[in-house]
């Protein structure tokens, strides 16, 4: 048996070129504030945390997190690392409980659970490497020949540029396209019209044989969403995502119960019990936790079982390896979100500049390798000159 010898965290701060923010780019929770300027500022992911868990034999498992990396780093360094060092990585369920219960007073949500997620993902990558198996083979194996993915970008902007982007994406054979709303309650009826014009314009390009997902990123409220959903029905969205702030579970449940348009959410929910509550209260028709926030692979797999029992499909937030392995190994995870590789904008794509091995979509699908142990990713130094690293 090999034990965990060390935990190394690094914060990667992007210093390279970024795409400048534009107005009405994506609604978000800050829209309700009276601040002017770049409302997406606090939702830009231009930092990332890597977490490397090393076993006594030198094998290293890689985890990561994108929420508040500098604070999560401190939580791991000062609190969680000492809890896992000396443990057998194959006691992963016990290690998870140890991290969860020893920080229960403050760690059940947000920073604490994000830190637990990064450590847990590293432990699963480590276990896969120690037994020479890909993580999905440790979770349930290959439930799909390959994973169907949906193109996730189409931030709000001039209609012509959104249509050009959709036309370009169509060349890659995606069967689903996710677009962002740019207007919300503060933009009134004119903003509703602007939203509907963009949804119609994207539908004109992708047609009605492809899925269309619509993202609010917590930027609407219950009143506005109740008015918007009936107006969206004719565009047959597969779901409307995060219409209200994550704490408004009652609002989610009311919108989902309308039966107008399926509601998705969960990327800002944390822990097994947190997601079980969303399912119990029928708050979502599609559950979208992110494995590097919700509690890692240990928590995600338990949530998958609860969701399957309720027949709520799970389509994790973010196209990253840890989410793909859960999607591959669960029939109840039908498709995956896919962030196309592009210049650093919001930062969803920053992980492409830190890791190598995240699978690339081909003709609307992606593949995982049966023979690549762990998550199948490595940390690359190819873009190191564009990062400032904090050890
Ligand atoms: O991809 C998503 O679901 C997100 O919420 C990403 C965020 O940047 C808004 O698009
Ligand atoms: Mg989202």
- Indicate the residue among 71, 105, 132 that finishes a domain: 132
For residue 1, pLDDT over 90 is answered with: no
Strands 239-241 and 211-215: parallel
Domain boundary, last residue among 82, 98, 132: 132
Residues 80 and 24 in one domain: yes
Which range has the worst mean pLDDT, 4-13, 232-241, 339-348?
339-348
Q: Specify the range with the lowest mean pLDDT, choosing from 1-5, 74-78, 201-205, 332-336.
A: 1-5
Residue of 217, 266, 289, 317 best suited for mutating to test ligand 1, as the one with most atoms within 8 Å of CB = 217
Q: Environment class of residue 118 by beta-carbon count within 10 Å: exposed (0-12), middle (13-18) or buried (19+)?
A: buried
Residue 177: which domain range? Answer: 138-380
Instruction: For 208, list phi and psi in degrees, rounded to 5.
Output: -110, 10
Q: What percent of the chain has pLDDT over 70?
A: 100
**Same domain, yes or no, for 58 and 207?**
no
Domain count, the chain: 2
Least confident of 270-284, 333-347, 374-388: 333-347
pLDDT at 39: 76
- The model's confidence at residue 8, banded by pLDDT at 50, 70 and 90, is very high
- Average per-residue pLDDT in the chain? 97
More confident residue, 22 or 148: 148
Same domain, 167 and 316: yes
pLDDT above 90: percentage of residues in the chain: 93
Residue 298 in domain: yes
Per-residue exposure over 257-295, b if at least 16 CB sit within 10 Å of its own CB, e if not: eeebbbbbbbbbbbbbebbbebbeeebbbbbbbbbbbbb
Report pLDDT for 35. Answer: 77
Q: From CA 291, how far away is CA 39, in angstroms rounded?
A: 26
CATH number of the domain that residue 317 is part of? 3.20.20.120
pLDDT value, residue 38: 79
ipTM of the complex: 0.96
Report phi then psi at 140, rounded to 5: 155, -10
Give tens-digit pLDDT for 155-189: 999 999 999 999 999 999 999 999 999 999 999 99
Active site residues: 317
Is there a single domain that holds both residue 196 and residue 67?
Answer: no
* Average pLDDT value for residue range 126-150: 98
Per-residue confidence (pLDDT) for residue 7, from 0 to 100: 98
Task: Say yes or no: 61 and 146 in one domain.
Answer: no
Q: What is the pTM of this model?
A: 0.97
269 found inside a domain: yes
In terms of domains, do 180 and 282 share one? yes
pLDDT at site 342: 86
pLDDT at 261: 98
Give me the pLDDT at residue 117, please: 99
d(CA 63, CA 283): 29
Q: Is the CB of 346 under 6 A from ligand 1?
A: yes
Q: Give the CATH number of the domain where residue 49 resides.
A: 3.30.390.10
For a pocket test of ligand 1, which of 318, 323, 336 has the largest count of ligand atoms closer than 8 A to its C-beta? 318
Q: What is the C-alpha to C-alpha distance for residues 365 and 352, in angstroms, rounded to an integer? A: 18
Please compute the mean of the pLDDT values over residues 225-245 and round it to a whole number: 98
Q: What are the pLDDT digits (tens) for 246-272?
A: 999 999 999 999 999 999 999 999 999
Residues 113 and 194 in one domain: no
Residue 145, pLDDT > 80, answer yes
What pLDDT is recorded for position 390?
98
Distance CA 306, CA 342 (A): 35
Query: Cα separation of 32 and 245, whole Å?
Result: 11
Helix H segments across 215-371? 222-232, 249-257, 272-280, 291-294, 296-309, 321-328
Q: Are 110 and 202 contained in the same domain?
A: no
The answer to whether position 222 is within a domain reads yes
Residue 86 tokens, joined:
């000396």
Tell how far the Cα of 54 is from the centroid of ligand 1, in angstroms: 31
Based on the fold, state whether residues 212 and 66 are members of the same structural domain. Answer: no
- DSSP, res 77: I
Question: Mapping DSSP to helix (H, G, I), strand (E, B) and coil, where does residue 357 land?
Answer: coil
**How many C-beta atoms lie closer than 10 Å to residue 209's C-beta?**
6
Model confidence at 355, pLDDT cuts 50, 70, 90, reads very high
Is residue 385 domain-resident?
A: no
pLDDT at 384: 96
pLDDT at residue number 21: 83
Distance 180 CA to ligand 2 centre (A): 9
**Are both 10 and 152 inside the same structural domain?**
no
Kindly give the number of the ligand 1 atom that is closest to the alpha carbon of 155: 10
From 87, 106, 132, give the residue that closes a domain. 132
pLDDT in tens, 33-65: 987 777 778 788 899 999 999 999 999 999 999
Strands 355-356 and 378-379: antiparallel
């Amino acid at each position: 048996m090999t034990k965990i010898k060390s935990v190394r965290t690094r914060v990667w701060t992007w210093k390279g070129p970024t795409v400048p923010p534009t107005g009405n780019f994506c609604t978000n929770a800050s829209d309700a504030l009276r601040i002017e300027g770049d409302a997406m500022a606090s939702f830009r992911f231009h930092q990332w945390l890597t977490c490397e868990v090393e076993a006594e034999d030198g094998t290293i498992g890689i985890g990561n997190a994108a929420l508040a990396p500098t604070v999560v780093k401190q939580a791991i360094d000062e609190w969680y690392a000492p809890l896992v060092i000396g443990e057998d990585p194959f006691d992963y369920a016990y290690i998870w409980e140890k991290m969860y219960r020893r920080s229960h007073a403050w760690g059940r949500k947000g920073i604490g659970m994000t830190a637990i997620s990064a450590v847990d993902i590293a432990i699963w990558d480590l276990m896969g490497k120690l037994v020479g198996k890909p993580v999905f083979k440790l979770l349930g194996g290959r439930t799909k020949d390959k994973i169907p993915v949906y193109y996730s970008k189409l931030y709000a902007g001039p209609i012509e540029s959104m249509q050009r982007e959709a036309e370009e994406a169509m060349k890659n054979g995606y069967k689903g396209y996710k677009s962002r709303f740019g207007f919300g309650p503060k933009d009134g009826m004119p903003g509703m019209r602007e939203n509907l014009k963009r949804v119609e314009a994207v539908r004109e390009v992708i047609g009605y044989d492809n899925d269309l997902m619509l993202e609010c990123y917590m930027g609407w409220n219950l009143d506005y969403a109740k008015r918007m959903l009936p107006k969206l029905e004719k565009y047959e969205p597969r779901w409307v995502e995060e219409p209200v702030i994550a704490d408004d579970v009652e609002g989610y449940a009311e919108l989902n119960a309308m039966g107008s348009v399926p509601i998705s959410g969960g990327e800002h929910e944390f822990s097994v019990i947190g997601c079980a509550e969303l399912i119990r209260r029928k708050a979502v028709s599609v559950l979208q936790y992110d494995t590097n926030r919700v509690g890692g692979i240990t928590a995600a797999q338990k949530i998958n079982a609860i969701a399957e029992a309720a027949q709520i499909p799970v389509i994790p937030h973010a196209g990253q390896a840890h989410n793909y392995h859960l999607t591959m190994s669960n029939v109840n995870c039908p498709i995956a979100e896919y962030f196309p590789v592009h210049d650093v904008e919001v930062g969803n794509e920053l992980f492409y500049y830190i890791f190598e091995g995240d699978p690339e979509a081909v003709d609307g699908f992606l593949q995982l390798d049966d023979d690549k142990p762990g998550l199948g990713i490595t940390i690359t130094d190819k873009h190191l000159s564009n990062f400032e690293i904090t050890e």
